[in-house]
């Protein structure tokens, strides 16, 4: 009975309302992180050349500026999300060379 009378944690009771109607969605397969002592700057873009190296620059389409507290919360949320994904679907190999499957020769 003591547990039933115990007040709930105020942090768990607080609900944050989110308005998503004006959210912009874009795709990125490239990101760059730079920063200063006060903040991190994360640039996102699309690398249309993939593994090929060309002189064509990657155009940055989105820039997100975060203070380090928000960046750390984001790091934690991304870490948990990736852990959950890998539990279901297996390890995500980020080394492209290790993901490339050699082409089988067709000897017909």
pLDDT of residue 100: 79
Residue 76 lies in a domain: yes
Count of structural domains, the chain: 1
pLDDT of residue 41: 97
State the DSSP string of 69-94.
HHHHHHHHHHHHHHHHHHHHH-----
Residue 12 lies in a domain: no
- pLDDT over 90 percentage in the chain: 58
CA distance 43 to 94: 19
Place of tokens 């960046």: 71
Residue 107 lies in a domain: no
pLDDT of residue 38: 96
Residue 54 lies in a domain: yes
Sign of the torsion formed by the C-alpha atoms of 36, 37, 39 and 44: positive
Residue 84 lies in a domain: yes
Phi-psi region of 92 (alpha: psi -120 to 50; beta: other; left: phi over 0): beta
- What are 6's two structure tokens? 């115990």
Structure confidence by residue, pLDDT tens digits, 24-73: 899 999 999 999 999 999 999 998 887 667 678 888 999 999 999 999 99
Residue 74 lies in a domain: yes
Mean pLDDT of the chain: 86
List the domain range (segments joined by +) for residue 62. Answer: 24-95
Residue 71 lies in a domain: yes
pLDDT of 3 over the 60 cut = no
DSSP assignment letter at 105: P
Query: Whole-prediction pTM value?
Result: 0.68
Residue 105 lies in a domain: no
């Amino acid at each position: 009975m003591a547990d039933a009378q115990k007040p709930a944690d105020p942090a768990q009771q607080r609900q944050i309302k989110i308005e998503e109607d004006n959210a912009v969605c874009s795709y990125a397969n490239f990101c760059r992180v730079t920063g200063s002592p006060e903040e991190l700057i994360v640039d996102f873009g699309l690398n249309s050349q993939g593994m090929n190296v060309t002189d064509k620059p990657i155009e940055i389409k989105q820039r997100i500026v975060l203070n380090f507290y928000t960046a750390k919360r984001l790091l934690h949320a991304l870490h948990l999300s990736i852990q959950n994904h890998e539990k279901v679907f297996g390890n995500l190999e980020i080394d492209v060379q290790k993901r490339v499957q050699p082409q089988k020769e067709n000897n017909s």
